[in-house]
Amino acid sequence: MEKILITGTAGFIGYHTALKFLAEGYEVVGLDNINNYYDVGLKYGRLEASGIHKDSLEDYCLKGYEEGKQKPFDSLPAGRQGAQGDASGNNKLNDGSDNPESCLPAGTAGIRNLKSVICNLHPATLKTLQEHSPFKYGTLYQSATNPRYRFIRLALEDYDCLKELFEKEKFDRVVHLAAQAGVRYSITNPFTYMDCNINGHLNIMEACRHNKVKHLVYASSSSVYGSNTKMPLSTSDNVDHPISLYAATKKANELMSHTYSHLYDLPTTGLRFFTVYGPYGRPDMALFLFTKAMLEDKAIDVYNHGEMWRDFTYMDDIVEGVYKVTFESKALDIQMTDDRLQIGWSDPNRQSTIDNRKSKIKPDPSTSATAPFKVYNIGNSSPVKLLDFIKAIEDKLGKKAKMNMMDMQPGDVPKTWADTTDLEADVGYKPDTSIEEGVGRFIEWYRDYYNK
């Protein structure tokens, strides 16, 4: 049976995807940096549910930090915020003090890129880290409930450790779901997105091409459609006008992937997810925020005065699509076509071959005439008005929502609607979970998990 690397397995989609591949009998290695973009307790909860116990993952054992007695790193990227040089070239801590403990992270939160942190740390802080870290970062841990699942805490930006992992494990396929998520967060924390989404994606591609990975499947986003107004949103549409940095990094991932597919014959498939929801969902997403607020009898913020539509897609539908694409993507067919362009700098007919193919094939941004590359939408293809979504939550909770009507937020779009024609044609799959069913499952999980 093949061995699959799945990144982002402490995250929402990655956790569920790992369970799916395990259920199908595959050997899985999960990877995540467990950052503090949102409550790390929920990330540990997902890991616990898959047999990876929190106590075995702690990088720092200082009780004071666990209890929040020390100051954590600020939210901006480590190395830009954790320690800074003054005019004389001396390192200063993020609070300007000489106390090395003042910039250590709280528990497992705050570390996004261990190496970039270490290279900028105050010497006394580095000494503290060396004395108290049990060196758990970069270590594989065996699931207590599934012998075919192991987990490693690793930052995507750490290419040396990533390279070592690939060389040791010899992965057959990679499902790359780890990323810095969030449209609104990218407005206030732009450097985080460049480090994780751009450099991290590059590192994954480099590791894949040097280790002959059969197929790289990666998460893109419906956010790449930006200011497009033609509905439904199709992968054949132009997406050159993103309206958030998050969307721009996802568009960049697609362009980078095509480049590697073309240069190195690496099959790559990007998946544009449409508003994913379900159990163990992210706390910054609407369903989680609304449910929590309503149960606490608090008002919810409703943007664009409720005049918004989203193609809400249930987690099980997303995971099924990811699984099928991993083995049935059109990118794999392109790789196996006998008359495809042979990639290589030594081909003397390279340019003429490309020109001939361009004249015969209608340009389509979602595929390529010269590379094993494909992009799909995965969405429910049934946009729901935000006020109807709220009503579904009200019906399942048995209580009315108090609503603060707000203006549209920067970087947001009024409507999403996935055209999944290619997904249906190539892999024979179409998501179909209704809002009523999906919301009901989430609320059932939420009440059980948080004892509400």
Q: DSSP assignment of 94-116, as one string?
A: TTS-S-GGGGS-STT-S-S-HHH
The Cα–Cα gap between 374 and 318 comes to 17
Total domains, the chain: 1
**Amino acid letter, 195:** D
Which residue range forms the structural domain that includes residue 76? 60-117
Does any domain span residue 74? yes
Does any domain span residue 215? no
Does any domain span residue 100? yes
**Residue 246 is among the residues annotated as catalytic for this protein:** yes
Tell me the pLDDT tens digit for each residue of 9-39.
999 999 999 999 999 999 999 999 999 899 9
Does any domain span residue 91? yes
Catalytic residue among 141, 246, 280, 429: 246
Does any domain span residue 305? no
Length of the chain (residues) = 452
Does any domain span residue 345? no
**pLDDT at res. 333:** 86
The Cα–Cα gap between 390 and 193 comes to 30
Tell me the pLDDT tens digit for each residue of 109-155.
333 344 444 444 444 444 443 343 323 789 999 999 999 999 999 99
The Cα–Cα gap between 38 and 132 comes to 25
Tell me the pLDDT tens digit for each residue of 267-277.
999 999 999 99
Whole-structure pTM value = 0.80
Does any domain span residue 72? yes
**Amino acid letter, 33:** N
C-beta separation of 254 from 220 below 8 A: yes
Does any domain span residue 64? yes
The Cα–Cα gap between 156 and 267 comes to 20
The end-to-end CA distance of the chain, in Å, is: 41
Q: Is 95 helix (H, G, I), strand (E, B) or coil?
A: coil
Tell me the pLDDT tens digit for each residue of 151-172.
999 999 999 999 999 999 999 9
**What is the rounded average pLDDT of the residues 228-257?**
95
DSSP 77: P
User: Which pair of tokens denotes residue 290?
Assistant: 């609304």
C-beta separation of 35 from 111 below 8 A: yes
User: Which pair of tokens denotes residue 376?
Assistant: 């799909």
